[in-house]
Structure 1
Amino acid sequence: MKEIQDILKAYALASEQGKQTALATVVLVEGSAYRRAGARMLVTDDGQLTGAISGGCLEGDALRKARLVMAQQQPMLVTYDTMDDDDAKLGVGLGCNGIIHILIEPIHPQNSNNPIQLLGIALSKRQNAVLVTLFSLQNRKAEQPGTCLLLSDGEAVFSPLNDEVLKGALTNDALQVLRSAQSITKTYFAQTAYTGFVEYLKPAISLVIVGAGNDAIPLNQLAHVMGWDITVVDGRANYALPERFPGAKQVIVAKPEQVLTKIAADGLTAIVLMTHNYNYEIALLKELLPKAMPYIGVLGPKKKLDRMLAELEDGGMSITPQQLQNVYGPVGLDIGSEGSEEIALSIVAEIKAVLSGRKGYSLKQKAMAIHTPEPEVK
């Protein structure tokens, strides 16, 4: 989502400056590649690049293709085959052992449903969405419809697409992907055979940092680099200051019992308690545990968390094993952190792993491929 945020900002600036733009999207990967389907890069007519479609080896050639797309004002499907041992003949030396298909689309500002506008709509709503991109693998000279459908919360937004049967099929599959939360690649038959990348988009992680001390500043900074939605909460007005936390969407002064009334928590919300105020945190933990939050991190030693939980139970609160599954204390992955910056890194890494359903171990220990390919549906 951070890449899309950066692309939208770059497009807004390019539009103000009257520049032409094109959007390059990785729509299909066969085999291994640095970036997967859904990776994007905005190109301006003066050669500025935002986002990435590879580790840097395809961008130069894609820039040349994008300038041609802007000149001709027609989408273009470009394929890089790196399964050949002599991939240096491409001039890129990829060494990825895969086939990468990239669709490059000119952005027409007058089209209110152009790809950038559809991405903007998806980003503006904190909800899951599906974006459909159509392209023709079999006939590269045929029309490449490109980014043509955004579906979110049951509402479908189409770019110009005249085939009603095809629109119906795309809508049905987008609804399926929205329910399954898994992108798919599928073949569609209209006037020609099209391949559709039906992409599942989820909102950025929402991080609520409870505590506005100096050790919360690196956590805010690192989460901002990740493109997360950040809220900082503290009961101390002289600490909870927006100027101390640039990048945070909200900086709130609140008592523990007020916190949940001032935030909008969802399935991608992580809350980290780091006030260094025992009474504040135990009062807030009492509010949080019954809410089945996906991630509650508690800074400090395990005996501190054990003490809080014991006091809550002694006070009559029933705490279930299911509630404790999502409580992480001490917070963070074990990476040997020392100092607030390294602790922030361990916290961000653990949040990302937990909300992605991963274990957080070294990739060298993973027997399977790093990325799971999108299932191909016939």
Structure 2
Amino acid sequence: MEGMHRILDIGVCEQDVLATVIHVDGSAYRREGACMLFREDGTQIGLLSAGCLEADVAARVQDLRRKGVSETIVFDMQAEDDLSWGQGAGCNGAVHVLLEPVDERLQQHLKTLKLYLDQGIEVTILKKLNDIGAVSDYLFLAGRHTFGEWSGHVPEEVEHYMNERTKKSGMFFVSGLSAYIYVHTIWPKSRVIVFGAGMDAIPLVKLAAQSGFSTVVSDWRPALCSRANFPEADELIVAFPEEAFQRIRFTPRDFILILTHQFQRDQQVLRYLLTKAVRYIGVLGSNLRTQRLLGGSAIPPIVKSPVGLSIGADGPEEIAVSIVAELISLQRSDCQKGMVLS
């Protein structure tokens, strides 16, 4: 849910309107959980579709602010003619979009949501909808902690759903509440840590940041590991590997990329990382070179070499695409499996 991360990073203000795709019948450009923020100053953050819905939603936002209540809008894009809404988009889907004006309480709860995500804790949102598609109650669940505006107890069938390992986003009917519930789990940003700040790392870090990853670059050469080269990076660590290791707390969510272009440095980083619990270690270069880095030993399953998807990439930009595409694929797979990474 990169849109929500971006919204939280920028910050939500009172009088903003949060738009969320809560249900899709058929196919659509984006699925449940896609969100977008309409700022009071007219700016917009995120996307709900390929551009089919945004203008219509924006036209309704001002009226929604005056009413001060949430509502659900259904956009039927199944028709392929120009007589229905969608002007022949032909997406074969009906998209349900929840619009929520941000008041002081919701603003504070979204700030709390960001705090948990920044600590690496996944957060699940429950929103109870009334007969007209407005939010009557909402609850955030972060581990054993809860916050939000929820009256009464949470039914057992909802708790059972929340305890399942696979948490699919969307709406379902809860008989104990006689109401529909929208459920969505927001996962903390995965972190991409790049060892090596050469020219080929620049498009890689930029694309990873644009794709919703938190990014860290480490290199011992200050002329390379600089804000001028990596303006999008969340953190720059100018240090030799042995010092950088002490400054980084590695986690099972971390994707590591090794591209210092110096054999001994690559070897030092790789051998150290094999002692840590991380999600992925990608090594730039051939399979044979990586075996040499390991002293001739077999390459462990956690190590990907050559790094990235096999798309025939050539040059820094294409290689960056192949690498980030692979990271996105792994990240999506983890979320679908409901992996709890701590």
Normalising by structure 1, we get a TM-score of 0.79
**1:330 maps onto 2:302 in alignment:** no
Q: 1:168 to 1:156 in 2, by over 3 A?
A: farther
Contact 1:22 1:105 survives alignment (8 Å): yes
| Counterpart contact for 1:295–1:354, Cα < 8 Å | no
User: Cα gap change, 1:289/1:96 in structure 2, threshold over 3 Å: closer, same or farther?
Assistant: same
Indicate the RMSD between aligned Cα atoms, in angstroms.
Answer: 2.8
Q: Give the letter for the 2:139 counterpart.
A: L
Q: Secondary structure at the match of 1:290?
A: coil
Secondary structure, aligned partner of 1:99: strand
Q: 1:182-261 alignment to 2 at 5 Å?
A: 182-183=168-169, 185-189=171-175, 193-261=178-246
Unaligned runs of at least 5 residues, structure 2: none
- CA distance in 2 between counterparts of 1:34 and 1:59 reads 13
Counterparts of 2:262 and 2:168 in 1: how far apart (Å)? 41
1:6 corresponding residue in structure 2: 6
The sequence identity of aligned pairs, in percent, is: 31
Alignment-mate amino acid for residue 151 of structure 1: L
Partner AA of 1:29 in structure 2:
V
1:66 offset after TM fit, Å? 2.2
Cα deviation code 1:25-46 (max 9, x no counterpart): 1111111111111111112345
Change in Cα spacing, 1:188 to 1:117, as seen in structure 2 (3 Å) is farther
Which residue of structure 1 lines up, in the alignment, with residue 139 of structure 2? Answer: 149
Q: Which residue is 2:118 aligned to? A: 124
Given the superposition, is the C-alpha separation of residues 216 and 93 from structure 1 closer, same or farther in structure 2, using an over 3 Å criterion?
A: same
Which residue of 1 is the match for residue 20 of structure 2? 25
Secondary structure of the structure 1 residue equivalent to 2:274: helix
2 CA distance for matches of 1:249 and 1:260? 17
For 2:210, the aligned partner's letter is: V
Contact kept? 2:250, 2:277, Cα under 8 Å: no
Contact 1:57–1:93 under 8 Å retained in 2: no
Deviation at 1:250, TM superposition (A): 1.7
Equivalents in 1 of 2:68, 2:160: separation in Å? 29
Does residue 57 of the first structure (1) align with residue 43 of the second (2)? no
Of 131, 135, 146, 2:129 maps to: 135
- Distance in 2 of aligned mates of 1:276 and 1:198: 45
Closer, same or farther in 2 for the Cα pair 1:11/1:69, shift >3 Å? farther
Aligned residues: 336
Distance 1:302 1:9 in 2: 38
- Please tell me whether the aligned partners of residues 88 and 94 of structure 1 are also in contact (alpha carbons under 8 angstroms): no
SS class of match (1:347): helix
Q: Which amino acid counterpart does residue 202 of structure 1 have in structure 2?
A: W
| DSSP-derived class of the 2:198 partner | coil
Q: How far did residue 223 of structure 1 move?
A: 1.4
One-letter identity of the residue aligned with 2:280:
Y
Q: 1:213 to 1:233 in 2, by over 3 A?
A: same
Q: CA deviation at 1:113?
A: 4.4
What is the rounded CA distance, in whole Å, between the counterparts of 1:44 and 1:134 in structure 2? 24
Residue 342 of structure 1 and its aligned partner are, at CA, apart by: 1.7
Moved more, 283-292 or 201-210: 283-292
Is the contact made by 1:257 and 1:287 (CA closer than 8 Å) also made in structure 2? no
What is the CA-CA distance between 1:217 and the residue it aligns to? Answer: 1.4
Q: Distance in 2 between matches of 1:40 and 1:92?
A: 22
User: Counterparts of 2:163 and 2:145 in 1: how far apart (Å)?
Assistant: 14
Q: Please tell me whether the aligned partners of residues 77 and 86 of structure 2 are also in contact (alpha carbons under 8 angstroms).
A: no
Task: Give the secondary structure class of the aligned counterpart of 1:281.
Answer: helix
Q: 1:345 — aligned with what? A: 321
Structure 1 position 172 matched with structure 2 position 159: yes
- Contact between 1:151 and 1:175, CA under 8 Å: does it hold in 2? no
- 1:230 Cα deviation from its structure 2 partner: 0.9
Asked if structure 1 preserves the Cα contact closer than 8 Å seen for 2:21 and 2:95, the reply is yes
More helix by percentage? 1
After superposition, the C-alpha distances for 1:95-118 in whole angstroms (9 at most, x for unaligned) are 11122111111111255545x445
Alpha-carbon distance between aligned partners in 1 of 2:216 and 2:10, rounded to the nearest angstrom = 25
Task: After the TM superposition, list the runs of 4 or more consecutive aligned residues in structure 1 that deviate by more than 6 angstroms.
Answer: none
**Distance between the aligned counterparts of 1:43 and 1:169, measured in 2?**
35
Distance in 2 (alpha carbons) for counterparts of 1:264 and 1:104: 39
Task: Give the AA of the match of 1:149.
Answer: L
Structure 2 residue identity aligned to 1:283: Q
Asked if 2 retains the 8 angstrom alpha-carbon contact of 1:298 and 1:327, the reply is yes
- 1:196, CA displacement in angstroms? 1.3
Q: How far, CA to CA, are the matches of 2:200 and 2:156 in structure 1?
A: 51
The alpha-carbon deviation at position 10 of structure 1 amounts to 5.1
Are the counterparts in 2 of residues 212 and 240 from structure 1 also a CA contact under 8 Å?
yes
C-alpha distance 187-260 of structure 1, shift in aligned 2 (>3 A): farther
Within 2, Cα distance between the matches of 1:62 and 1:27?
Answer: 14
